[in-house]
Chain A
Amino acid sequence: MAEKDLLYNYTLHLADNSMILGQRCGEWCGHGPVLEQDIALTNIALDLIGEARSLYQLAADLKGGSATEDTVAFLRDVLGYKNVLLVEQPNTDWAYTIVRQFFYDVFHFYLHSELIHSTETRLSNIAAKSIKEVTYHLKWSSEWMIRLGDGTDLSRDKMQEAVNGLWEFTGELFMPSKIEQQAFEAGFAPDLNILKPMWQEKVEDILAESTLYIPEREYQQKGGKTGVHSEHMGFILADMQFLQRAYPGANW
């Protein structure tokens, strides 16, 4: 694959992760368990979509022609999205939302800690900007893991159920797609094998402090990175793309 195509595809994968998780977090706006946390989660949605925009703008530049952040973000079908399965999982309840956020934040944090050293300066600049935000996201979700894990019996049950339910989507984070492998070999993406033990250690630490445990179930789902998503993805896009599809080419 030509280096430009490789960078385009890798950038898209990063952007889609942030975009889809931001879209999920945005669903909470107005429905949070307490006003302050409604505001906090909306902040996270704003950061994630902000990061996605920077990445989509880079992707649009690489694509050239009439491509914009919006054509890149809104005019692909399910198979064209390269985000991991974890981020498209439904909000379900506050426990699932926190656990999904935490698993992703740990990954996001270590990924960007490496990506700031990327040989591709356009990527390292975006990572340098978003690492500050991601550091806060990780602090926020870690605190909620502990607070709810070590809160009441009911909250511990709900959190353990969410950990059990989402665990099978964490493995994919570290199974490199062809794009990631080639991007690593080309020098602009980090080695996922290095990130995995860092993720594992942090997750184990916080789960222990939360009085939660890692489920015994070993099997891990995969497919998002190659466009083979869960059924949720089509509904996310139906919402997200409705106006772009119903009124092609219109300015908003």
Chain B
Amino acid sequence: MEINLEEAFQKRIDDEIKIEPRDWMPEKYRKTLLRQISQHAHSEIVGMLPEGNWITRAPNLRRKVALLAKVQDEAGHGLYLYSAAETLGMSRDEMLNELHIGKAKYSSIFNYPTLTWADMGAIGWLVDGAAIMNQVPLCRASYGPYARAMVRVCKEESFHQRQGYEIMLTLCQGTPEQKAMAQDALNRWWWPSMMMFGPNDDNSPNSAQSTKWKIKRFSNDELRQKFVDVSVPQAEILGITIPDPDLKWNEARGHFDFGVINWDEFNQVVAGNGPCNKQRLKARVDAWEKGAWVREAAVAYAEKREKRNLSKENTNAA
């Protein structure tokens, strides 16, 4: 019986029919998705911190409003994604708890510091750019609630990316100091952005199953290559240099060749040793703990009000 269910499940996926919350699904599919979607939701929430850092310091009013709106969008993405993950049987509070105790991961990119205003540009251009490469295929993911959440997320992300690139463009057309700021941000964010696509394909053990389930549509290395090919001409327009001496056009492949990623650094950041891992997690835990009395009071008030309404109804009925 089990085997038939699995076969029917796989057939639906092969036929590009979306899997919905009430449908039967293999336990491993549910777990894989729950891990991936909650990790994605956590990334949105932790991702608010490095940019939120610059809200009070934004250089003018237009940029301040745009940055506030952008970070707010990330909170919104977190909401859609937590809701999508909840359909797989875990509450938002449970997911947050896993983040707070260090059991659940989030994207390692957010463990790097934002040091100058140019980092707001570089994050929009490169980090959101890499995120879009990863996320656009997820709009066709086999799990319905995830795919639908990603459609909304991707629309906003592409707006953020244009906004980030426009910050870079303004800096690169500005004073020599501003252009140097932009170059420095590119130097610091390039390689961490390249790492956002995950390990090389021959070192990515879960990819085959995710591909079969149509949670994943392109391999890590395919997406990384696409990111490089798109970013090189964009850097040329800006007039700044990607920090990779091995970067060059390969006529035969029709792609840019690029240097070897420092996987040791990647593994260290994933293991918790990035420059801001401790600070990011602490900020999230602090917000949660300091908000506990607010959440408790909101629940207590709602219960009181319900009781009062009930006794009012009873009095009226009598």
Residues of A bordering B, CB below 8 Å: 23, 26-27, 29-39, 42-43, 45-46, 49-50, 52-53, 56, 69-70, 73-74, 93-94, 146-148, 150-152, 154-155, 158, 236, 239-240, 242-244, 247, 250-252
Query: What chain A residues lie within 8 Å of B174 (beta carbons)?
Result: 250-252
In the docked arrangement, what's the CA distance between A205 and B107, Å? Answer: 47
Contact across chains for A69 and B297 when beta carbons are under 8 A apart:
no
Contact across chains for B72 and A35 when beta carbons are under 8 A apart:
no
Contact across chains for B300 and A50 when beta carbons are under 8 A apart:
no
Q: Tell me the total A-B contact number using a CB cutoff of 8 A.
A: 135
Contact across chains for B300 and A46 when beta carbons are under 8 A apart:
no
Contact across chains for B72 and A242 when beta carbons are under 8 A apart:
no
Q: A31-B287, A49-B65 are in contact. Are A42 and B293 (CB under 8 A)?
A: no
Query: What chain A residues lie within 8 Å of B71 (beta carbons)?
Result: 29-30, 42
Contact across chains for A46 and B65 when beta carbons are under 8 A apart:
yes
The list of the 4 closest CB pairs from A to B, nearest first, reads: A33-B291, A151-B297, A155-B297, A30-B52
Contact across chains for A93 and B296 when beta carbons are under 8 A apart:
no
Question: Interface majority SS on B: helix, strand, loop or mixed?
Answer: helix
Ordered by A's residue number, 21 sampled pairs between the chains whose C-beta atoms are within 8 Å are A30-B52, A32-B287, A34-B291, A35-B78, A35-B79, A39-B75, A46-B65, A46-B72, A49-B64, A49-B65, A52-B61, A53-B61, A73-B61, A94-B290, A151-B298, A152-B297, A152-B300, A236-B56, A243-B117, A247-B177, A251-B173
- Residue from A26, A42, A252 whose CB has the most chain B CB atoms within 10 Å: A252
Contact across chains for B298 and A147 when beta carbons are under 8 A apart:
yes
Query: What chain A residues lie within 8 Å of B58 (beta carbons)?
Result: 243
Q: Which of A46, A53, A236, A244 is the one whose CB lies under 8 Å from B59?
A: A244
Nearest chain B CB to A69's CB is how many angstroms away? 6
Q: Which of A29, A46, A155 is the one whose CB lies under 8 Å from B296?
A: A155
Tally of contact residues, B, Cβ under 8 A: 47
Q: Name the CB-closest residue of B to A244.
A: B59
Q: Name the CB-closest residue of B to A248.
A: B175
Query: What chain A residues lie within 8 Å of B117 (beta carbons)?
Result: 243, 252
In the docked arrangement, what's the CA distance between A251 and B173, Å? Answer: 9
Contact across chains for A250 and B301 when beta carbons are under 8 A apart:
no
Tell me, yes or no, whether B68 is within 8 Å of chain A by CB.
Answer: yes
Query: What chain A residues lie within 8 Å of B52 (beta carbons)?
Result: 29-31
Tell me, yes or no, whether B55 is within 8 Å of chain A by CB.
Answer: yes
Contact across chains for B72 and A29 when beta carbons are under 8 A apart:
yes
| Further contacts, 18 of them, CB under 8 A, given A43-B72, A250-B174, A251-B170 | A27-B55, A30-B48, A31-B287, A39-B72, A39-B79, A49-B61, A50-B65, A53-B61, A70-B60, A70-B61, A147-B297, A151-B298, A151-B301, A239-B56, A239-B57, A240-B56, A244-B59, A244-B60
Contact across chains for A34 and B295 when beta carbons are under 8 A apart:
yes
- Residue from A30, A35, A37, A43 whose CB has the most chain B CB atoms within 10 Å: A30
